[in-house]
Structure 1
Amino acid sequence: MKVVVVGAGYAGTFAANRVAKKVRGAEVTVVNARPEFVERIRLHQRIAGTAAAATPLTSMLRAGVASRIGTVEKIGDGTVLLDDGESLGFDHLFLAVGSTVRPLAGTVPVGTWEGAERARTALAALPAGSTVTVVGGGPTGIETAAEVADARPGVRVRLIGSSVAACLSGGARQRALAALSRLGVEVVDDGVEEAADGVLRLRSGREVPSALTLWAIVEGVPELAARSGLDVDAEGRVVVDAYLRSVTDQRIFAVGDCAGVAGSRFGCQTAAPQARAAADALARLAEGREPEPYALRYVARCVSLGRKDAVAQFTHPDDSLKESYLKGGTAVAFKRIVYTGTKYGSRKAIGA
């Protein structure tokens, strides 16, 4: 059985390793644009120069799993067409291309490796007293603003977003806002309409200076699925059945951010469970057994607030917020477990 995995983030790496582990005789090939496995949830640390956030992909894949550096242009009938004109055949395919960013012109996106590298270089070159603006009031924006402010106390950091930290409950949100204030981050409840010549024009009409503007809004998914003729939802995610198979072609599983599962959100907490469920479904099918449906289940939302603070907001399985949360050193330790555990899980494809 030939299995191709498109994308080597948390979902793709986990799926490839688990298929190699559980599906007897599977020939697994991973296609990825980079020769590294990127820890996307640590890109804010990469920008600030406090973490590497990348590991050679070969060290993340089980023995026998092949890797191909390249980009898939289109998925056809049992084949994938690569950007170099070559093609790979498959019996089953795992689509794990993640989510993407659509930055405003004049800003640097922080949700991709390439954008994070540009941001890191630009930030390192800024003299003291410069202003860095982060656009986006969700976890990515909060973590980026806090990490930059903590690592570069000589620069001014501004965070612009509507209802910053609304992804957290009352107590956790106040804790996050207080931490940002303590780090000297100016929080502005607004949006950015235009970024040009070191000046940002806000929706309110206000204009503010910005030596470096970082776009920290992750939205949408790559167009590969739609371009390949698969049914997609309004956000461009693959429409899947209960076993995470494309309703267009049941040879194709979609996992992670690009899978159209109702109630799911972008993040590693979505990626690994879906990759496990889809790989296990393929293993059961290969054995002539009925697969088990995927069950959505969340535990927490973790937000770093610099190197020595964090909040870990607990959630119900459907991702609705509980009032309980961790803070301070306990939350930092919890977040560290998330970093290391997610990477370890992707490499080992843990679980029975």
Structure 2
Amino acid sequence: MKVVVIGSGYAGTLAANRVARKTIDAEITVINPRPDFVERVRLHQQIAGTYSATTPLAEVLREDIALRVGTVEKIGNGTVALADGERIDFDYAFLAVGSTVTPMPGTIPVGTWEGAQQARAVLTALPAGSQITVIGGGPTGIETASEIAEARPDVRVRLVGSSVGGGLSEGAFRRVRAGLERLTVEIVDDEVVEVGSGAGQLEGVVRLRSGWDLASDLTLWAIVSDVPDLAARSGLEVDARGRAVVDEFLRSVSDERIFVVGDCAAVPGARFACYTALPQAIHAADNFARLLKGRKPKPHSFPYWNRGISLGRADAVTQFTRADDSVRRTYLAGRGAVVLKEMGAHSAFSTARAGVSSF
């Protein structure tokens, strides 16, 4: 039984390790564009220099799993085609390529490893008094701006978004903004329409919908909203966002041999998050094991209960939610939220590596 896992983020790594734990004769190959596992939920720390967000996949994947570093061009008809011309056949596959970023020209994306590395290098070289602009008022932008402001108090940090902290309950919204202000992050509720080049390669002007122009020495794009086009390019049915459409068992509706998990899966009601991806990977791997035993797969369901946002290393906000991810009035802030956020990040990594649920 040949199993191919495409992508080795949280969902792909967990799926591969769990399949290996639950099957005896499966020949598992993981295909990933780099030899490292990236803790994507910690990329803001990578940028600020407060954490190293990579671990060699050789230390994360089980010994009986083969790793192929490469780029997949197409998947279908029981075969994975790589960019270098190699073809790998499979009986079952797990598509777990996650989400990606399409940054505005003139900005550096913070939601990818390559972007985080570039941002880290530029930030390290910036002198005191430099102006950093983070675009994106959601959790990624808030965490990036907070982490940089705390790690580099000698620079000025600005966070721009149409509604910074929007989508939270009223109390959590106020608390997040108070945390940003405590870190002296300038909050600008506006929409960016253009980032122009200045005298230096990464110097420029951030132009707002309101007509204001803001000078910026380093402009970071902190909006994660896209998925790789591999599923669409391979002819699998996708939704309007390019995510592979799946059935209730997390199998592609175009090919039942392909399980799709994580951000690239069009699961109704799911949001981009490792908090979403890990339970999907567990369920898909378990359904694969059920099929091998001649049993029926089980429908996937997963209730949400919170959203965590860090505000540097010493502060955070946990927004409690209903099962459908709609927000409750209740939230937790301060040290307790920091502990919950750190436990979640640590649990995500340990669960992916062990292939055993820690939820």
Match of 1:297 among 278, 303, 307: 303
In 1, the alpha carbon distance for the partners of 2:100 and 2:167 equals: 19
TM alignment of 1:65-214, pairs within 5 A: 65-196=65-196, 197=198, 198-214=204-220
Match of 2:275 among 252, 260, 269: 269
In 1, the alpha carbon distance for the partners of 2:357 and 2:124 equals: 41
TM alignment of 1:252-291, pairs within 5 A: 252-291=258-297
In 1, the alpha carbon distance for the partners of 2:167 and 2:289 equals: 36
8 Å CA contact 1:10, 1:272 repeated in 2: yes
Greater alpha carbon shift after TM alignment, 23-32 vs 254-263 = 23-32
Match of 1:346 among 327, 338, 352: 352
Post-superposition Cα deviations, 1:154-209, rounded to whole Å, max 9, x if no partner, equal 11100000111113211111110001011111110111111122111111111010
Which amino acid letter does the alignment assign opposite residue 100 of structure 1?
T
Which amino acid letter does the alignment assign opposite residue 247 of structure 1?
V
* 1:351 Cα deviation after fit: 3.7
Match of 1:337 among 343, 348, 352: 343
After TM superposition, the score normalised by the length of structure 1 is 0.99
Which amino acid letter does the alignment assign opposite residue 215 of structure 1?
W
In 1, the alpha carbon distance for the partners of 2:279 and 2:7 equals: 16
8 Å CA contact 1:264, 1:296 repeated in 2: no
Which amino acid letter does the alignment assign opposite residue 178 of structure 1?
A
Q: Which residue of 2 aligns with 1:310?
A: 316
CA root-mean-square deviation: 0.9
Post-superposition Cα deviations, 1:139-161, rounded to whole Å, max 9, x if no partner, equal 00000000000000011100000
Post-superposition Cα deviations, 1:88-108, rounded to whole Å, max 9, x if no partner, equal 000000000000111000000
* 1:315 Cα deviation after fit: 1.1
Post-superposition Cα deviations, 1:85-144, rounded to whole Å, max 9, x if no partner, equal 101000000000000111000000000000000000000111111100000000000000
Task: Name the SS for the 1:312 alignment partner.
Answer: strand
* 1:296 Cα deviation after fit: 2.7
Q: Which residue of 1 aligns with 2:201?
A: none
| Equivalent residues, number | 352
Q: Which residue of 2 aligns with 1:12?
A: 12
In 2, the alpha carbon distance for the partners of 1:116 and 1:169 equals: 30
Task: Name the SS for the 1:158 alignment partner.
Answer: strand
8 Å CA contact 1:7, 1:97 repeated in 2: yes
Which amino acid letter does the alignment assign opposite residue 314 of structure 1?
F
8 Å CA contact 1:139, 1:167 repeated in 2: no
* 1:24 Cα deviation after fit: 2.8
Which amino acid letter does the alignment assign opposite residue 108 of structure 1?
I
Task: Name the SS for the 1:171 alignment partner.
Answer: helix
8 Å CA contact 1:70, 1:83 repeated in 2: yes
Which amino acid letter does the alignment assign opposite residue 158 of structure 1?
R
In 2, the alpha carbon distance for the partners of 1:177 and 1:285 equals: 49
1:218 aligns with 2:224: yes
Which amino acid letter does the alignment assign opposite residue 209 of structure 2?
R
Q: Which residue of 2 aligns with 1:34?
A: 34
Q: Which residue of 2 aligns with 1:246?
A: 252
Task: Name the SS for the 1:13 alignment partner.
Answer: helix
* Identity %, equivalent residues: 62
Consecutive unaligned residues of structure 2, counting only runs of 5 or more, are 199-203
1:321 aligns with 2:327: yes
Q: Which residue of 2 aligns with 1:231?
A: 237
8 Å CA contact 1:237, 1:258 repeated in 2: yes
8 Å CA contact 1:162, 1:189 repeated in 2: yes
* 1:83 Cα deviation after fit: 1.2
After TM superposition, the score normalised by the length of structure 2 is 0.97
Consecutive unaligned residues of structure 1, counting only runs of 5 or more, are none
Which amino acid letter does the alignment assign opposite residue 121 of structure 1?
A
In 1, the alpha carbon distance for the partners of 2:53 and 2:177 equals: 26
